[in-house]
Amino acid sequence: MKVTKENFISGPSSSSRPIHVYLSFIGDNETCRFTDSLWVALESNDLNTFWDDKKLDPGDYSIVLPRHFLRAIRKSNIAIVVFSKSYASSIWCLEELSEIAERIHEPRYTVFPIFYDVDSSEVQKQSNSFEKAFAEHEQRFTTNLRTVCNWRLAIKQVANLPGWHVQREPEPQVIDDIIKELKRKMRELVYADVDLVGM
């Protein structure tokens, strides 16, 4: 099923429901098939998910995320980052990732990487397509290399977390495993809230 902009949770419409999951990925044709299926499974299991199948204009070099993206990252309980070969080419994805990485050590926040058609070692070491993307960013942002360094650090932090490798298992099985783990995490949060009220 292809999820369209008319029926996914994004922007101001997400404010009426609590945001459980923030989904970060680059909206290319290769990745969208998987993320469409993942989003449907998340929403079908009452995991309200913020995402946007954005396609960055090659001429748009802005590194400022829209405010509703930032709010969604900060309000969510879980972030899922879908690393694909072209992920690091997107400035917005890297900015999302930097915001997500800042929350990694928060006790009520969980980040899961998914490696889609790319090996985790490529992402961790920033080799191959990631190396090429960062070389282009460093040439483009010669006066703002600190931001590029922050992007590199964010990728290392998130890519080193436990996650899933889509190419090693059938996609439906991976999605099923993701849903089970996310539901378990959400139950932990509910139980923690009950305990706090009891105290």
- Span 34-65, pLDDT tens digits: 999 999 999 999 999 998 755 444 445 566 78
Tokens of 83: 């690393």
Query: Which one of the listed residues 30, 95, 96, 171 is annotated catalytic?
Result: 96
96 classed as catalytic: yes
Pull the structure tokens for residue 6.
Answer: 């008319």
What's the alpha-carbon Rg for the chain, to the nearest Å?
A: 17
Helix, coil or strand: residue 174: helix
What is the number of domains present in the chain?
1
> Does residue 4 lie in a domain region?
no
Taking alpha carbons only, the member of 103, 129, 133 closest to residue 115 is 129
The encoded tokens of residue 122 equal 């490529």
6 belongs to a structural domain:
no
In a domain, 192, yes or no: yes
Q: Return the residue matching tokens 């050590």.
A: 105
SS3 assignment, position 24:
strand
Identify the CA nearest to 24 among candidates 63, 51, 57, 58: 51
Q: How far is CA 127 from CA 83, 131, 147, 178, in A?
A: 13, 5, 19, 26
Instruction: Give the domain extent around 163.
Output: 11-198
Q: Assess if residue 5 is contained within a domain.
A: no
Amino acid at 98: S
Provide the CATH number for the domain around residue 46: 3.40.50.10140
**185, 77 Cβ separation under 8 angstroms:** yes
Cβ neighbours of residue 122 closer than 8 Å, sequence gap 6 or more: 128, 129, 130
pLDDT at 4: 39
Residue reference for tokens 């990745």: 31
Q: Give the CB-side neighbour count of residue 150, counting CA atoms within 13 A.
A: 17
pLDDT attached to residue 46: 92
Non-local CB neighbours of 103 within 8 Å, separated by 6+ positions: 73, 74, 79, 109, 111
What pTM was computed for the model? 0.84
- Evaluate whether residue 25 is within a structural domain: yes
Tens digit of each residue's pLDDT (9 = 90 or more) over 76-99 = 999 999 999 999 999 989 999 999
Q: Give domain status of residue 171, yes or no.
A: yes
Low-confidence ranges of the chain (pLDDT < 50): 1-15, 55-59, 194-199
The backbone torsions φ and ψ at residue 124, rounded to the nearest 5 degrees and listed phi first, read -60, -45
Separation of alpha carbons 50 and 43, rounded Å? 10
